Amino acid sequence: MNNLDAVVSGAPTILIVDDTRTNLSVIGGILSGEYRIRVATSGERALIVANTDPKPDLILLDIMMPGMDGYQTIAHLREAPTTRDIPVIFVTAMSADEDEEVGLRLGAVDYITKPIRPSILLARVRTHLALKSAQSQLASMNQRLEAQVQQRTRELELVKDVSMQALAKLAEKRDLETGNHLVRTRSYIELLMEDLCRQPRFAAQLGSIEQERIAKAAALHDIGKVGIPDHILLKPGKLTPEEFEIMKTHAQIGADALSEAIEHVLAAQGEDAGGGHYALAFLEVAREIAGSHHEKWDGSGYPRGLAGEAIPLSARLMALADVFDALTCKRPYKSPLPLDKTVEIIREGRGSHFDPDIIEVFLSRVDDFAAVAKRYADTEHSAGFIGLAPQTQAVP
């Protein structure tokens, strides 16, 4: 059989599987001028050969063989990741239509009946090798395109994150809070979502993508403060009722600014929708948080007096995180409250200020909240931390 093993430089490899050596010689003789030929005299041996180099680009498989027949052999080939994509042509004396249907149903790409006609065999082999080559080129191209898309997506995500952080820092620079406020509130929200996502009420709204979106968008919760006059925003003491009404407008200012950004994305989608869906989803969550994180569960909050489930979940999470941080951190107009007092105030807000289910999760994660507050505490030059500063002033 040495003539069947002759190597044609650069030619595709064909594995011929037949228990009759005469058939191997005939088929190999027809193909050996154009292709590299490998042979196997049983299904069991075919599985071994198919997984050794040079691996076949095409398999010609007899059906009626002792031991493992052709049907069993192709079933094993299709199960194995290393061989499932190798095209298989049945070459057999079984010529009934139902036999051909069975073979094709099992995954064969073609069915040639014996006695072999050289021109038919060569034509079928060439066709399926050309098809396999085209499929391989398409798969390779798809992989390259997918890699390019992933790279572009990472770049867009980086640009979005940097832009978002720049906007958040812009609001922060005009406020009395420090950068760690953004880190802490995001961490508090992430703690809440870790548990809430396992509850049936919240699971559909807190998939992994939604959680990431909420966590990143949280940094923009006070973006509207860029529209508040300095003499109010930077006032070191308690605001007058009139000043507080102006301060409250920051929620609507932030929501309106983000609404304009959403409209810009929608307009851009008319020209190029690429990446628009992700940008819209992120901006919508940011708008929810900015516009609704001062709403209260009982409808007594601002700016729209939303109540209960009408308040977006992202904003309900931000509301608790923001209040916890405000209570436990020092401000020019107040001292930080100790942890137990903070927990008491938040517990009292269950069902009035806060979503009751979110409060239950908070109460089960108080130690984790405290650990975050300590880990990302402000420096003594900017703000205090739980229990480390005077506690004489009440929270306004």
Question: Could you report the per-residue pLDDT of 77-133, keeping only the tens digit for each?
Answer: 999 999 999 999 999 887 667 777 888 888 899 988 888 899 999 999 999 999 988
- Give the pLDDT band (50/70/90) at residue 5: very low
- With CA atoms as reference, report the closest residue to 211 among 221, 197, 200, 201: 197
Residue 285's pLDDT is: 94
If you compute the radius of gyration of the chain from its CA atoms, what whole number of angstroms results? 35
Question: Could you report the per-residue pLDDT of 43-82, keeping only the tens digit for each?
Answer: 999 999 999 999 999 999 999 999 999 999 999 999 999 9
- Give the pLDDT band (50/70/90) at residue 9: low
Strand bridging mode 58-61 / 110-113: unpaired
Residue 186's pLDDT is: 95
Judge contact between 49 and 56, C-beta under 8 A.
yes
Across-strand partners of 38?
15
Residue 55's pLDDT is: 92
Domain ranges of the chain: 2-140, 174-375
Quick check: pTM over 0.75? no
- Greater confidence, 329 or 97? 329
Of 156-165, 237-246, 304-313, 323-332, the one with minimum mean pLDDT is 156-165
Range 174-375: architecture per CATH: Orthogonal Bundle (1.10)
Local structure of 330: helix, strand or coil: coil
Average pLDDT rounded to a whole number, residues 281-304:
95
Average pLDDT rounded to a whole number, residues 202-229:
92
Residue 86's pLDDT is: 93
Local structure of 111: helix, strand or coil: strand
- CATH class name, domain 2-140: alpha beta
Sheet holding 36-40, edge to edge: 36-40, 13-17, 58-61, 88-92, 110-113
**Comparing 2-140 with 174-375, is the CATH topology the same?**
no
Strand bridging mode 88-92 / 110-113: parallel
- Greater confidence, 5 or 294? 294
Query: pLDDT at residue 273 above 50?
Result: no
Query: pLDDT at residue 24 above 50?
Result: yes
- With CA atoms as reference, report the closest residue to 299 among 314, 310, 287, 284: 310
Judge contact between 277 and 329, C-beta under 8 A.
no
What residue has token string 């094993």?
76
Residue 172's pLDDT is: 61
Query: pLDDT at residue 148 above 90?
Result: no
Query: pLDDT at residue 274 above 70?
Result: no
Mean of pLDDT over the chain = 85
In whole angstroms, give the CA distance from residue 331 to residue 312: 28
Residue 177's pLDDT is: 56
Contacts of 78 (CB under 8 A, 6+ apart): 84, 106, 107
In whole angstroms, give the CA distance from residue 137 to residue 58: 16
Judge contact between 298 and 351, C-beta under 8 A.
yes
Question: Could you report the per-residue pLDDT of 220-238, keeping only the tens digit for each?
Answer: 999 898 889 988 888 888 8
